[in-house]
Structure formats: structure tokens, C-alpha cells
Amino acid sequence: MVSSLDDVEYLARSSHRVAVLTAISERPRTRAELCEVTGASASTISRTLRALEERRWIARTGHHYEATPLGAYVSEGVADLLERLETERKLRDVWDWLPVDDADVPIEELADAVVTPATVEDPYRPVSRFVSLLEEADTFRFVGFELGLLEPCKDELCGRIIDGMDATVIDPPSVATYIRSSYPDLSTRTLESGNLTVLLHDDPPSYGLSLFDRRVGLCIYMPETGTLRSLIDTDAPAVRSWAEWTFERHRHEARPLALEAGAEPEADSGSGSEP
């Protein structure tokens, strides 16, 4: 007796089978059209059509094949499954580092997210993606431990701020001190532009959260080294709502950099603290 798993196995064993069913579900097709749409040979298309007809997923009308209600139902379910699997594949390698416990965000909201991982050949791929998002933004907000992301592109970031981009960055005090001591001239010029607000927070998230005009970026770091593992960016409304809430919560808890002058001289030397 044929089971549902047998049908799943039949579809999964060849991408042409799913492509044929999908194409016919969109509108009636001829054999020649199916060959063109799928890139499969005429003999492959013929075998596939016979098998789909046997399952009563399609029916022939003249020279055309069209989906039956059963076939359309199966095609819709397969498309949904493939979309879910594509989302899972994108998130698989970074899932353990995502702030899923803090974010009430359905996985479906990440289906259209752009995942840019660092690779051995190009360890700065996430940085390059970040810079491309930065170039399109008029506002920028960030909270987290950002050295692995922002330090490699400090010139681009500071240039955008000096040129008029409104920016707010929430740092741990140690990072503010490091940035100011490492890049004193650039930090001072950036702060003196009047376009940058630096706040200090003693317990920022372990990930980096960037809010641009229209997109949200999540920076995933290697916990052992702090190097950037991946950048995930999306314009999904649910992710945006969570990001806004997370940033505002940390902003409310943070203190202005200038308040560190009396208590932490090093952080005051970080009053020019941020690229």
C-alpha cells in the first residue's frame, strides 16, 4: 500500500517533479512548455506527467495539463515546506547564537532575512554587508559589543556620521575607552560633529543590534573570540518591533558618556568614544 511518505519520496527524488507540479498549478501547460520551464528532457516530462496523472494531481485537456484540486493542494503544501526548509537552512548555522529567548518573533518572520556569514575566504563579508546598509541610512542606532563589527569599518561609519547621519550607540564602558584611546582624533571629530550620541551600559546584549532606517541587523559573534560570525538583516515588522523595544530598554538603562568623567577617568578620555 502506498503511503504519504512514498509520495513525499517520489517528489523529493527529483527537482523536476516538483517543478512540473508547480508549473501546472500556476496555469495549464503543454509538454513543450513544461520542457522549457523545467529544463527537463521530453522523456522525463512524459514519465513525470504519467506519475502525476496516476496520483490524480493533474488532468489532461487536449494538449494541456492542468492541476486538479488535489494537485493544487499538494503543490501549495510542497511550496510551503520548501520555503520553511530554505529558512531553516539559512538559520541553521547561527541559530544557537540568535536571541530567540528574548525575541517573541516567529521563525516565519525571518524567511526573507539576508544571512551573510563570514567565510575563510572572506572573513569580512558581514562587515561589507553592514557598510552597504549603512550607506543607505540616514539614522543609525546600535547596542551591543561592537568591536568585531564597527572597528573594521570605523572610517566609513565615522564619515557617514560627520556627513550628517544621526547616530546613537550604546557601549560597555570598556569598549568606549578602547575606541577613544585607539582612535582619539577620529573619535573626537566624530563626536564634535554633533551627530553622535554615545551612551554607556554595563550589561549590553552579547549580540550586536543595529537599527537602520528600514532594516534591522543582528550581529552574531563567536563567543570564544568575539570575532564576527554572521550578520542577519531583515525588514520584517515583528523583528523591527522587537528591536525597537530592545534598544529603548537599554537606552533607558544607559547613562551618558559625559557622566563618566568624575568616576571613570578612562571613560572620560573616551568622551570621544565612538567610531
pLDDT at 236 over 80: yes
DSSP notation for 167-192: EEEEE-HHHHHHHHHHSHHHHHHHHH
Q: Is residue 253 part of a domain?
A: yes
Residues 83 and 100 in one domain: no
Helix (H, G, I), strand (E, B) or coil at 87: helix
Q: What is the pLDDT of residue 275?
A: 44
Residues 121 and 55 in one domain: no
Across residues 54-81, what is the average pLDDT?
Answer: 95
Q: What is the pLDDT of residue 2?
A: 65
pLDDT at 203 over 50: yes
CATH code for position 252: 3.30.870.10
Lowest mean pLDDT among 147-161, 198-212, 223-237, 243-257: 223-237
Residues 185 and 238 in one domain: yes
Q: Is residue 232 part of a domain?
A: yes
Structural domain span for residue 51: 4-87
Q: How far apart are CA 275 and CA 269, in angstroms?
A: 14
Q: Is residue 34 part of a domain?
A: yes
Out of 57, 87, 117, a domain closes at 87
Q: Is residue 274 part of a domain?
A: no
Residues 117 and 224 in one domain: yes
Q: Indicate the number of domains in the chain.
A: 2
Name the band, by pLDDT with cuts 50, 70 and 90, for residue 272. very low
Residues 188 and 64 in one domain: no
Name the band, by pLDDT with cuts 50, 70 and 90, for residue 102. low
Q: What is the pLDDT of residue 264?
A: 44
Residues 50 and 166 in one domain: no
pLDDT at 269 over 50: no
**Among the listed residues 41, 33, 36, the one whose alpha carbon sits nearest the alpha carbon of residue 14:** 41
Out of 67, 87, 107, a domain closes at 87
Q: Is residue 115 part of a domain?
A: yes
Residues 164 and 237 in one domain: yes
Out of 53, 87, 121, a domain closes at 87
Residues 147 and 64 in one domain: no
pLDDT at 259 over 60: no
CATH code for position 17: 1.10.10.10
Q: Is residue 275 part of a domain?
A: no
Residues 46 and 105 in one domain: no
Residues 107 and 30 in one domain: no
Name the band, by pLDDT with cuts 50, 70 and 90, for residue 166. very high
Residues 6+ apart with CB under 8 A from 188: 272
With 0-12 CB in 10 A as exposed, 13-18 as middle and 19+ as buried, what is 136? exposed
Residues 6+ apart with CB under 8 A from 54: none
pLDDT at 270 over 90: no
Q: Is residue 187 part of a domain?
A: yes
pLDDT greater at residue 94 or residue 207: 207
pLDDT greater at residue 28 or residue 146: 28
Name the band, by pLDDT with cuts 50, 70 and 90, for residue 104. low
| Mean of pLDDT over the chain | 87
Residues 58 and 103 in one domain: no
Residues 125 and 11 in one domain: no
**Angle formed by the axes of helices 31-38 and 15-26, nearest 10°:** 120
pLDDT at 265 over 60: no
